[in-house]
Amino acid sequence: MHTTNYMPISEKLKERYISFPGSVFKQYFQSMGQIIGDVSAGTLQRAGSDFGKRAAVSLRRENRKAKLEDALKIIEELGLGKIRLAEDAIYLEDSFEANAIGRSPVPVCNLTSGIIHGLCMGLGLNYVYYEEKCTAQGNNACVFKKRELKWYERVQAVI
CATH of the domain at 18: 3.30.1380.20
- Between CA 85 and CA 115 the distance in angstroms is 14
- Between CA 71 and CA 123 the distance in angstroms is 9
Residue 36's CB: how many other CB atoms inside 10 A? 12
| Residue 33 included in any domain | yes
Q: What is the pLDDT of residue 1?
A: 46
Relative to beta strand 127-133, strand 142-148 is: antiparallel
| Residue 136 included in any domain | yes
Q: Is 113 helix (H, G, I), strand (E, B) or coil?
A: helix
| Residue 16 included in any domain | yes
Q: What is the pLDDT of residue 112?
A: 96
H helix and E strand count, the chain: 8, 4
**pLDDT-flagged residues of the chain (< 70):** 1-10, 12-13, 18, 154-159
Per the structure, the count of domains in the chain is 1
Q: Radius of gyration (Cα) for the chain, nearest Å?
A: 16
Q: Residue type for 125, please? A: L
- Between CA 85 and CA 92 the distance in angstroms is 9
Q: What is the pLDDT of residue 48?
A: 94
Relative to beta strand 82-85, strand 89-93 is: antiparallel
- Between CA 19 and CA 1 the distance in angstroms is 33
Distance set, CA 56 to CA 10, 38, 61, 67, 118 (Å): 12, 28, 9, 9, 8
| Residue 68 included in any domain | yes
- Between CA 22 and CA 94 the distance in angstroms is 12
| Residue 47 included in any domain | yes
- Judging by beta carbons within 10 Å of its beta carbon (0-12, 13-18, 19+), is residue 134 exposed, middle or buried? buried
| Residue 3 included in any domain | no
90 is in which domain, residue-wise?
A: 9-158
| Residue 41 included in any domain | yes
Q: What is the pLDDT of residue 24?
A: 81
